Amino acid sequence: MSKNLVIVESPAKAKTIEGYLGKDFKVVSSYGHVRDLPKGDKAIDIANGFRPTYEVTADKKEVIKNLRKLAKEAETIYLASDDDREGEAISWHLKEALKLKDDFTKRIVFREITKSAIQKALENPRNIDEDLVYAQQARRILDRLVGYELSPVLWKKIKRGLSAGRVQSVAVRLVVEREREVEQFNVQSFFKISAIFDIDGKELKAELPKRFDTEAEAQAFLESCKGADFTIESLDKKPGKRSPAAPFTTSTLQQEASRKLSFSVAQTMTVAQRLYEAGKISYMRTDSVNLSDEAMNGAKNEISAAYGSEYSHPRKFKTKSQSAQEAHEAIRPTDFSAHTAGKDYNEKRLYELIWKRTIASQMADAELEKTTVSIGISTSNERLVATGEVIVFEGFLKVYIESTDDEDNGDEAKGMLPPLSIGQSLNLDNIKARQGFTRPPARYTEASLVKKLEEMGIGRPSTYAPTISTIQKREYVIKENREGNDRQYTELILKNDNIESHSLTEVTGAEKSKLFPTNIAMVVNDFLVDHFPNVIDYSFTANVEEEFDQIAQGSQHWDVMIQNFYGKFHQTVEETEQIDRREVGASRELGTDPETGKPVIARLGKFGPLVQIGE
């Protein structure tokens, strides 16, 4: 019989920890949450300060039975669930469900599963932090109240089976509003000028800094360049530098894994959890970019050994998020000397991404030399500009380059320019005027939606992935690829003082893994915006998150916070009973019927969606 019982959430985590502890410790798993609010309207006693009633979930009754038996045999019980609000709540629920006495129960926390971290946690036990539990409880109760009161309203007024949620409905609103921005976007045409010069067999590409609105203006510019001499008027060389990005938080890991590895947000969290539970990375739910002194030293030693001391540049990053806990750390490897880790291909790829990003964050800036060349045109007051960039010292770029979500980065990477001098005459090969088109705002990917939610203060590291999954599971949002359409564009080319015009075709509007709202999402969103503006107001939702933070810090009472929200919300729910179902804007014009000229309308009928011609 082991004197000490350690309870964690997952079997994988239990297995790793048990490997670090001796025969006096038994490590077991609760398999996640063991208690929850039961279904139905009896779970929360609204009249008595929103007092919740919890029940052991059906699938955990056997788990609790076994844990009770083990707890009776142990001298000391360590509750070692994750170091966040959700983990604190799991520990509290275990204590309550197992009826554990304070004298024999200790709470231990750690941000990485390594032998030293576990030993340190055992040496520094504490009591359960009730403020963290209250913050989690407030979120759970508020979300239950909103869901249970709003969803029936949608059933009565729009369609049975619909659901609403405090954060999910705000996320859907973002996707709906972006879709409407795209639909209403007025595409405008412009002409962009580029020139190619031949310098002793090497190519120099230059561009006109301004754009022309019409083909006639572009044509006139090319006409003005016939017979012109092109001369270098100025050469401006400036030193430049690029600094590395901070180590990963939950949201930046989700974004970069989406861009570089094509992972979904949920997949990123599943793979990261496996790496964490195997002791390979620190805790994967965090909004801190902080690294411990121990981690910084580990990175410094690895950089110096692998690349040389000149590549090392220890740096502390400041977390922008006000809610972030600086005592927590960014997501990082637990052992920097391990360049690879993980059992399968995806674990290895994600670990490599985390290793590179963390190592790069502690490396020297990249040193660059940027050259800007101004080229005069003898027949025009306009100037062409060529730019080049040379890496003088790689610094962190030796290891890692951050990706971006920018879809309009049509500029090729700026490379080295051929040898040039002021006053040098240039031999023109051609000048091209290519028609381009303005682009609407980009539709969200899973990762860019997470980025937007974080920027707006909506949700926290533990809620991003579940929110993105929920809005797809409930068929408010679909993620898919869409083929583009052919579009004609014009290209004018001046070569040997002769201008030729070409009509060419390009594909536009192709989308890959983008989020699209369904028709029902648009109807539900409009209904909620009209009748529950507070519930899905962006700043209100962000303020609620801040209030959860205040509860966690002990500066706000959870029941008072919920009362302040619930009174007005419940009154609005009751007022919607008076809304006539036929008044709900449940129709959408799809286009025009080519035979009759009448509008084609999609709307929600009594039995679901239908399409009709004419009003």
Q: Looking at the annotation, which residues are catalytic?
A: 283
Q: How many residues does the chain have?
A: 615
User: One-letter amino acid identity for 164?
Assistant: A
- Side-chain-facing half-sphere of 485: CA atoms under 13 Å: 3
277, 16 Cβ separation under 8 angstroms: yes
462, 84 Cβ separation under 8 angstroms: yes
Burial of 575 (0-12, 13-18, 19+ CB in 10 A): exposed
User: C-alpha angle 96/463/130, rounded to 5°?
Assistant: 30
Main-chain phi, psi angles of 432, to 5 degrees: -120, 135
User: C-alpha angle 255/258/261, rounded to 5°?
Assistant: 130
Query: Alpha-carbon distance 147 to 345, whole Å?
Result: 39
Tokens at 392, concatenated: 């003088």
- Residue 445 has a CB neighbour count (10 Å cut-off) of 21
389, 326 Cβ separation under 8 angstroms: no
How does DSSP assign 283-335, residue by residue?
-S--------HHHHHHHHHHHHHHH-GGGB---PPPP--TT--TTS--B-BS-
How does DSSP assign 342-406, residue by residue?
-SSHHHHHHHHHHHHHHHHHTBPPEEEEEEEEEEEETT-S-EEEEEEEEEEE-GGGGT-------
Tokens at 299, concatenated: 């990175």
Q: CA distances (Å), 273 to each of 29, 113, 115, in order?
A: 15, 12, 18
Tokens at 194, concatenated: 């580029």
User: One-letter amino acid identity for 370?
Assistant: K
Strand 44-45 with 51-52, pairing: antiparallel
Residues 6+ apart with CB under 8 A from 481: 510, 511, 512, 513, 514
498, 227 Cβ separation under 8 angstroms: no
Burial of 201 (0-12, 13-18, 19+ CB in 10 A): exposed
Strands annotated E in 438-538: 477-482, 485-495, 498-508, 511-517
